Amino acid sequence: MPMFICTACGTQYPDSAAAPAQCAICEEERQYVPPRGQTWTTLAGLRGSHTNTFREYDDGIIGIGSVPAFAIGQRALLVRTPKGNILWDCISMLDDATVTMIKGLGGIQAIAISHPHFYTTMVEWAHAFGARIHLHAADKEWIMRNDAAIELWDGETKALWDGVTLVRCGGHFPGGTVLHWAKGAGGRGVLCSSDIATVATDRKFLTFMWSYPNFIPLSAPQVEGIAAALAAFRFDTIYGHYFDRVIAKDGKAVLKASVERYVAAVEGKRGYE
Ligand SMILES: [Zn+2]
Ligand SMILES: [Zn+2]
């Protein structure tokens, strides 16, 4: 039986004779059902309509996204460390070319995902590469296709290897996670912030929302909580969740300035109210 994929958020559901009546993730306030209504595809269907594209950033980080853009349109990152590769975040489209190329780069030893909007076809990726999937337990209700490869973690941080740490920041989702790589960016540190701390369109600031499509902000204490979760970590480069959303340097100072700007804005202290 086919495993249907929601075309609005990219989430794959367990096999079923007919498409699900609704997508639980898109029916919730942090996503949306498009005006055309709910539609579905499958991985076989996606392979006929889309292909993957790659961009190598500095220091062993390769972006993987789909063309044309599919669902939310995020790109994943292959974080390449000496002791193994980590797939950070995930995309729905996975084809033979992608598997062959990533295997040529050493495969994927672990998959870690920031929040449920990017769970997509994570189980397909885990099976293709024999990788474990690390998800924060606080968001487990949003796992639509369960699998033995999924490993839930609890608490505030989870260390992988080679200075790679998953850090729970919360905010957008209770288990909202970012990836910190201490040895990335030539040892200055990398933060993969996804849309838990979103790189703004001007790439000068980060911003924070509870619902991005429906414009519902986080509170000041929630955003200060994200800053507190990252206080102990050094980083220079910040990778957001789209190909072009990268803050190349001074990431730590950018986070501080961004949190101050955000808190001032939501507290009515920006000076142009
Ligand atoms: Zn959906
Ligand atoms: Zn999201």
DSSP state of 205: -
The alpha carbon of 116 and the centre of ligand 1 are apart by a number of angstroms equal to 10
Tell me the CA–centroid distance for residue 257 and ligand 1, in Å. 34
Which DSSP string do the residues of 4-16 spell out, in sequence order?
EEETTT-PEEEE-
Q: Which ligand is nearest to the CA of 38?
A: 1
Note whether 71 and 90 are within 8 A (CB).
Answer: no
Task: Return d(Cα 79, Cα 62) in angstroms, integer.
Answer: 7
Written as tens digits, the pLDDT of the chain (273 aa) is: 999 999 999 999 999 999 999 999 999 999 999 999 999 999 999 999 999 999 999 878 999 999 999 999 999 999 999 999 999 999 999 999 999 999 999 999 999 999 999 999 999 999 999 999 999 999 999 999 999 999 999 999 999 999 999 999 999 999 999 999 999 999 999 999 999 999 999 999 999 999 999 999 999 999 999 999 999 999 999 999 999 999 999 999 999 999 999 999 999 998 765
Q: Is the pTM of this model over 0.85?
A: yes
Alpha helices in 105-250 (DSSP H): 122-129, 220-229
Residue 186's φ and ψ, nearest 5 degrees, are 65, 30
Q: State in Å: Cα 115 to ligand 1 middle.
A: 14
- Distance in Å from the first CA to the final CA of the chain: 56
CA proximity to 138, closest of 89, 111, 172: 172
Q: What is the Cα gyration radius of the chain?
A: 18
